[in-house]
Structure 1
Amino acid sequence: MTNDKGILIKNIYYMLTYAFQTLRRSDFDTVAAEKFENIHDLFAAILGKGVAYQLKQGLYKEYILQTEERTALRGKLKLQETMKNRIRQRQKLFCEYDELSENNLLNQILKTTMLILLHHGNVKPQRKALLKKNLLLFENVDTISIKQVRWEKLRYQRNNQNYRMLINICYLVADGLLLSTEKGEVKLAEFLDEQAMYRLYEKFILEYYRYHHPEYRANPDVIPWNVDDGVTAHLPNMNTDITLKSGEKTLIIDAKYYAHTMQTVYDIEKIRSDHLYQMFAYVKNLDKKNTGTVAGMILYAKTQEEIIPGNRYVMGGNIIWVRTLDLNQPFTQIAGQLEKIAEDYFGENVMEQNADSIIRR
């Protein structure tokens, strides 16, 4: 089954697999082999398996500040509150202390998201059964308002690194799937929204090249402005989505996920000017000596539009491509398109080199 942009649901799983390396663990093998009719069922399967694995390792705990009245001192004495108890002739000490607890924000996010998916009609019974089984071990964890979570404030360290992928799945559910009805109720949208898919699309392409082509040193990059007098005050940052490097060659890829790839100017379809100007600036500022060894590519996710960009321009000695990536294909064909991009610029037969590893995935 496909979503409204023509992306096979199964391919969203593969995109997640690259974006979140944890999905390569053997306990997710059954998820990879299954067919999914909708995005909710896919997320329920991933979250169910992932949380079950985490429960075997033990839920993450952190110190939570507790305050309570006690007959014996524990932690720090709250003098003002204790004096009030004495005035009221209550023989209780008001104490404040840290307690190691599983009732922390990360576990609260997991529990709340599992409950959201559990009550959705499109999640299959076997997936709901696993979610219910997991939830039995979240008895001491509170639910929260998922829409109030400040996702950018979440921090990971050695003891909770395994949560990163799970929380990102929860974020996709909350940010991309939750809609409020007129009555204030919460329901799940049919598919990931455009912004959520934009981020996933970009991360997928980056991690694909990192995994299959470490020799290209794929990374986001910061391009310095090529200014003559050294003055850069108030100039905006130039941050690339993906930069590939091989020898003296560099390819900058700007991943774009839009419902409409082209813009209409006086009834004529044209490439979006702001995207082209941005890529031109990236290429020319990075290629300071005009060597022609820096190229750029605006890579749109293919839509159902009649006119699909597939252009190659040479501007001031530098190549700039405008292409689309068709996600409505079996995954080996999607991988083939990404291999072709690298082959066209770096001139290597990378498709043959990586065919076996792509098929094994």
Structure 2
Amino acid sequence: MIPIQNLYYLLCYAWNRLPSQGEWQHLEASTFHRPLELLTHMLLAGTRRLLQQGLPLGYAEHEEELTELRGRVLLAPTLSRDLLRQGRAVCAYDDLGPNTPFNRLLAGTLEVLGRTRHLSAALRQEVRRLRARFPEELVAAPFTRHELRAVRRLRLPGQEGFLLNICDLIYRTALPDTDTEGRTRFHDFRRDETLMAGIFERFVRNFYRLEQRRYRVLSETISWQAEAERPEDLGLLPSMITDTSLESAERKIILDTKYYAAALKPHYDRQRLIAPHLYQLFAYLQNQAPRAGQQLEGVLLYPAAAHEAYLRYTLGGFPMRVVTIDLNQPWPGIAADLLGLVA
């Protein structure tokens, strides 16, 4: 199980944000027993910064009965209520204020956290105090998948995007509490291999983007070196998209991350590498077209759990490694191991 402090680093890099030294010092001085406590701390710290800078404002449409015309007159409700004879009309107008979709979602997330019993009473109180600092006219949005998707489509940058990622992960770990109306219980997402696989992949890719300058880092689509009698048949081939490609003039590394409990699995009375993982990476290498003078190699990277591994092969003329990284060690060791992997 990844320690909470290391989980903080994984999330920061996965969301393309360098870890904050101040937050790290607070983490070292605190004891978090559940990932939800960590996420709440990160949400509180980020929201405080946002409030200090001033909540982002946006235009929201209002609909109201008015004695003076403003914006657009909505004829259907105006006529159905017989308002014209009263010198009134229903108008729709845009008003600049804090009721943006993001601000409303943030407030809704804080309200859910302020009620859950999965946080200590002191932390819930801290959440409620921060929620009370929002403008009174700001209406919290329901904490639902629909609201999250609507805000996701806005492609928010910077601090807002980072806070949205936290809200999204909190939602993905939330389950309705059938015993208590209006409350939510949360599960430990470190046990969710599918969710953690995505976090681990983005963590590794963004770590290399932010922490080294030798390689250009990207996720790329590799074209099949294939021919077909009918050109349209080529479109039926599955996509080949790398998790992480690191490229310099003289070297290209295709690094595939696999969030599995072990790099080896039992096969009869022996341990074996996981065949589909090896086949996938080999297919990437076979269909890649390196530049002149560029060495092409592959790496399969697993988090260390049951077994540690550092295996070297040459397959089809390509150097290939199968490596595990210990995510339970102190963070400086993790960073050093990742940099050493591509040195």
Q: Provide the TM-score with structure 2 as the length reference.
A: 0.85
1:94 CA displacement: 1.4
1:186 CA displacement: 2.8
Kept in 2: contact 1:255–1:300 (CA 8 A): yes
Kept in 2: contact 1:254–1:299 (CA 8 A): yes
Q: Distance in 1 between matches of 2:336 and 2:244?
A: 18
Change (3 A) 1:151 1:297: farther
- Which residue does the alignment assign to 1:294? 296
* Corresponding residue SS for 1:329: coil
1:242 CA displacement: 0.8
Percent identity (aligned): 29
Change (3 A) 1:328 1:203: same
- Does the alignment pair 1:13 with 2:8? yes
Kept in 2: contact 1:262–1:271 (CA 8 A): yes
1:308 CA displacement: 4.6
Taking the TM superposition and a 5 Å limit, the aligned residue runs for 1:222-241 are 222-228=221-227, 231=231, 232-241=234-243
Q: Distance in 2 between matches of 1:150 and 1:52?
A: 21
2:39 to 39, 43, 49: 43
Change (3 A) 1:157 1:7: closer
Kept in 2: contact 1:172–1:196 (CA 8 A): no
- Does the alignment pair 1:142 with 2:116? no
* Aligned residue pair count: 334
Name the amino acid aligned to 1:197: M
Deviations 1:205-256 (A, max 9, x none): 1121112212211221221222357943222221111111232211111111
Deviations 1:119-160 (A, max 9, x none): 3445355544442222012342223133443438614568x5
* Corresponding residue SS for 2:221: coil
Deviations 1:46-76 (A, max 9, x none): 1111001000111122222222221211101
Change (3 A) 1:107 1:267: farther
- Which residue does the alignment assign to 2:215? 216
2:89 to 81, 84, 93: 93
Change (3 A) 1:259 1:103: farther
Deviations 1:318-354 (A, max 9, x none): 02222211101011111122122112xxxxxxxxxxx
Change (3 A) 1:17 1:145: closer
Name the amino acid aligned to 1:214: R
Change (3 A) 1:25 1:311: closer
* Corresponding residue SS for 1:278: helix
Name the amino acid aligned to 1:335: A
Q: Which runs of at least 4 in structure 1 moved beyond 6 Å after TM superposition? A: 288-292
- Does the alignment pair 1:34 with 2:36? no
Change (3 A) 1:112 1:99: same
Name the amino acid aligned to 2:67: T
The answer to which of 80-89 and 35-44 deviates more is: 80-89
- Which residue does the alignment assign to 1:188? 186
User: Aligned-pair RMSD on alpha carbons?
Assistant: 2.9
Kept in 2: contact 1:31–1:45 (CA 8 A): no
1:27 CA displacement: 5.4
Kept in 2: contact 1:226–1:288 (CA 8 A): no
- Which residue does the alignment assign to 2:316? 316
- Which residue does the alignment assign to 1:275? 277
1:42 CA displacement: 1.2
The answer to which of 147-156 and 111-120 deviates more is: 147-156
1:260 CA displacement: 5.0
Change (3 A) 1:288 1:53: closer
* Corresponding residue SS for 1:54: helix
The answer to which of 45-54 and 35-44 deviates more is: 35-44
The answer to which of 224-233 and 108-117 deviates more is: 224-233
Deviations 1:271-307 (A, max 9, x none): 222221111111111146998821111111122x2x4
* Corresponding residue SS for 1:214: coil
1:85 CA displacement: 2.3
* Corresponding residue SS for 2:132: helix
Name the amino acid aligned to 2:142: I
- Does the alignment pair 1:109 with 2:105? yes
Gap runs ≥5 in structure 1: 1-5, 344-361
Kept in 1: contact 2:116–2:184 (CA 8 A): no
Taking the TM superposition and a 5 Å limit, the aligned residue runs for 1:195-214 are 195-214=194-213
Q: Distance in 2 between matches of 1:21 and 1:32?
A: 19
Name the amino acid aligned to 2:316: G
2:164 to 154, 158, 167: 167
Kept in 2: contact 1:325–1:337 (CA 8 A): yes
Gap runs ≥5 in structure 2: none
Change (3 A) 1:153 1:253: farther
Q: Distance in 2 between matches of 1:246 and 1:14?
A: 26
* Corresponding residue SS for 2:36: helix
- Which residue does the alignment assign to 1:67? 63
- Does the alignment pair 1:338 with 2:338? yes
